[in-house]
């Protein structure tokens, strides 16, 4: 730990040594039998992590925004109606991408730090025919988590395709893609999946693939078109090589290792650990007087916490907290970005990282002149862990 600064932002995160070592091995040809085997394995493992036994995985070089565009571009044709569940910065981005691909976008609004009620979304789905509904599982701008199960159940009543932006959620928040009837769920490697930035990871349901196959118009994004990537993903899973664009060989190796670690922990244990860490972190921050941006406790995310700065403290405290050992992120939601900060706690984070982060926050706040009983945050988190 000496001199080490924990990276506790909402991605990239702390990666395991085993994952990082994969980045440093000599790069194989993308048609090397060893690479074919581990790419095939990684795709199979994605189904396990997404809990989508019949889903079609795609792992493509790019960031989470590419995953957003892969989702929107492939199932949207000009004139399609798309409903966006407003959550914040990232649902706005999703709306822009759908519009770019020709959709007529309607938005069910919500106040900052809140989410639309499922009832309001259900009513809108019944008032007008929508091909697709898009929901951001955890909006990284607010730390609010959507009840995907409930939104997807409402969408099932009108046969609407369900797209989930799981960039700040997959492999951390509970997501049962197939049981819940989600058609597309995607993330990016640098988040809870636990791999350095550079992979867009998406799983599509058979229904979403059929919608893509039945298109009357072409996909207006060459690099995004599933038509180009599906044969590649199918080939690697069948342990054959195929080419469309050169895969990010070392990232795919790292992905395979990380997904193996995730499945070895088990999805239920993993969801529970993220929830426990989030509770302990919040208990600690509450104990020293901090409050949170999401407006209701049941929507607090397990992957990310967004506290307001306490009175008299501003964003300059983040540099002090970083000097004390934990790198955190500033606010992102444009209208309130100077009022709050964000702590990412996903991936392999455990007690020691959460407690070290709280310690760094305490020392940073104390140096910034905030008055509170030093040690109270760590103590409250410790008692929370004792309960679990």
CA distances from 51 to 78, 115, 276, 316, 340 (A): 31, 25, 21, 41, 34
Chosen residue from 13, 19, 167, 257 binding ligand PMP by CB under 6 A: 167
Which DSSP string do the residues of 238-253 spell out, in sequence order? Answer: TT----SS---HHHHH
Query: Is residue 136 involved in binding ligand PMP (CB under 6 A)?
Result: yes
Q: Which long-range contacts (CB under 8 A, 24 or more apart) does 91-94 make?
A: 91/134, 91/135, 91/136, 91/139, 91/165, 93/65, 93/68, 94/68, 94/134, 94/136, 94/163, 94/165
Do the Cβ atoms of 334 and 345 come closer than 8 Å?
A: no
Interacting residues with ligand PMP between 83 and 102 (CB under 6 A): 90
Chosen residue from 168, 208, 275, 378 binding ligand PMP by CB under 6 A: 168
Q: What is the DSSP letter of 157?
A: T
How would you classify the pairing of strands 6-7 and 326-327? Answer: parallel
- Structure-token match 């990284």, residue found: 140
Count, residues near ligand PMP per rule CB under 6 A = 13
165: β partners: 136, 186
Query: Is residue 302 involved in binding ligand PMP (CB under 6 A)?
Result: no
329: β partners: 342
Residue 36 vs 59, nearer CB to ligand PMP: 59
132: β partners: 82, 161
- Tally Cβ neighbours within 10 Å of residue 261: 16
**What is the x/- site pattern for ligand PMP, positions 255-284, by CB under 6 A?**
------------------------------
Interacting residues with ligand PMP between 28 and 87 (CB under 6 A): 63-65, 68
* Cα four-point dihedral sign 125, 130, 131, 132: negative
Q: Which two tokens stand for residue 249?
A: 């060989």
Residue 186 vs 370, nearer CB to ligand PMP: 186
Q: Which residue, judged by CB position, is nearest to ligand PMP in the bound state?
A: 64
Residue 80 vs 165, nearer CB to ligand PMP: 165
To ligand PMP, the closest distance from the beta carbon of 241 in angstroms equals 27
Return the SS3 of 388. Answer: coil
To ligand PMP, the closest distance from the beta carbon of 186 in angstroms equals 9
Residue 39 vs 90, nearer CB to ligand PMP: 90
- Of 132-140, 142-150, 293-301, 353-361, the segment contacting ligand PMP by CB under 6 A is 132-140
- How many Å apart are CA 67 and CA 267, to the nearest integer? 22
- Of 165-173, 310-318, 322-330, 337-345, the segment contacting ligand PMP by CB under 6 A is 165-173
Residue 136 vs 305, nearer CB to ligand PMP: 136
Chosen residue from 76, 110, 132, 140 binding ligand PMP by CB under 6 A: 140
- Of 160-168, 280-288, 314-322, 367-375, the segment contacting ligand PMP by CB under 6 A is 160-168
- Cis peptide upstream of residue 21 (ω within 30 degrees of 0): no
Residue 68 vs 275, nearer CB to ligand PMP: 68
- How many Å apart are CA 294 and CA 342, to the nearest integer? 12
Residue 13 vs 36, nearer CB to ligand PMP: 13
Query: Is residue 134 involved in binding ligand PMP (CB under 6 A)?
Result: no
Residue 77 vs 92, nearer CB to ligand PMP: 92
To ligand PMP, the closest distance from the beta carbon of 89 in angstroms equals 8
Interacting residues with ligand PMP between 171 and 210 (CB under 6 A): 188
Query: Is residue 226 involved in binding ligand PMP (CB under 6 A)?
Result: no
**Nearest partner of 77 among 208, 229, 216, 244, judged by Cα:** 216
* Cα four-point dihedral sign 244, 249, 251, 253: positive
Q: Which two tokens stand for residue 310?
A: 């306490």
Query: Is residue 324 involved in binding ligand PMP (CB under 6 A)?
Result: no
**Nearest partner of 41 among 25, 22, 24, judged by Cα:** 22
Residue 11 vs 196, nearer CB to ligand PMP: 11
Q: Rule CB under 6 A: which residues touch ligand PMP?
A: 11, 63-65, 68, 90, 136, 139-140, 165, 167-168, 188
């Amino acid at each position: 730990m000496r001199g080490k600064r924990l990276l506790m932002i909402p991605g990239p995160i702390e990666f395991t040594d085993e994952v990082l070592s994969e980045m440093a091995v000599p790069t194989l040809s993308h048609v090397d039998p060893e690479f074919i085997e581990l790419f095939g394995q990684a795709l199979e493992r994605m189904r396990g992590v997404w809990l989508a036994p019949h889903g079609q995985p795609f792992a493509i070089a790019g960031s989470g925004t590419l995953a957003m565009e892969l989702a929107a571009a492939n199932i949207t044709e000009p004139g399609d109606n798309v409903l966006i569940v407003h959550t914040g910065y990232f649902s706005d981005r999703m709306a822009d991408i759908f519009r770019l691909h020709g959709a007529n976008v309607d938005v069910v609004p919500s106040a900052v730090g809140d989410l639309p009620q499922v009832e309001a979304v259900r009513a809108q789905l019944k008032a007008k025919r929508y091909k697709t509904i898009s929901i951001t599982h955890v909006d990284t701008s607010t730390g609010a988590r959507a009840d995907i199960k409930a939104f997807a159940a409402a969408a099932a009543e009108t046969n609407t395709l369900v797209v989930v932006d799981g960039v700040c959620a997959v492999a951390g928040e509970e997501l049962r893609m197939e049981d819940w009837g989600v058609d597309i769920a995607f993330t990016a490697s640098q988040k809870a999946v636990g791999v350095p930035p550079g992979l867009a990871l998406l799983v599509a349901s058979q229904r979403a693939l059929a919608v893509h196959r039945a298109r009357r118009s072409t996909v207006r994004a060459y690099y995004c078109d599933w038509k180009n990537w599906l044969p590649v993903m199918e080939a690697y899973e069948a342990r054959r090589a195929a080419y469309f664009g050169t895969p990010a060989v070392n990232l795919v190796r790292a992905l395979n290792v990380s997904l193996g670690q995730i499945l070895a922990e088990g999805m239920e244990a993993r969801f529970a650990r993220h929830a426990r860490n989030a509770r302990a972190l919040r208990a600690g921050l509450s104990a020293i007087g901090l409050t949170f941006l999401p407006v209701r406790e049941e929507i607090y995310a397990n992957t990310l916490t967004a506290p307001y700065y306490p009175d008299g403290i501003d964003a300059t405290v983040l540099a002090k907290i970083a000097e004390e050992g934990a790198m955190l992120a500033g606010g992102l939601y444009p209208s309130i970005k100077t009022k709050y900060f964000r702590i990412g706690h996903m991936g392999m984070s455990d007690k020691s990282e959460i407690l070290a982060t709280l310690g760094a926050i305490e020392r940073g706040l104390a140096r910034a002149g905030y008055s509170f009983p030093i040690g109270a945050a760590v103590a409250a988190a410790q008692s929370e862990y004792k309960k679990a």
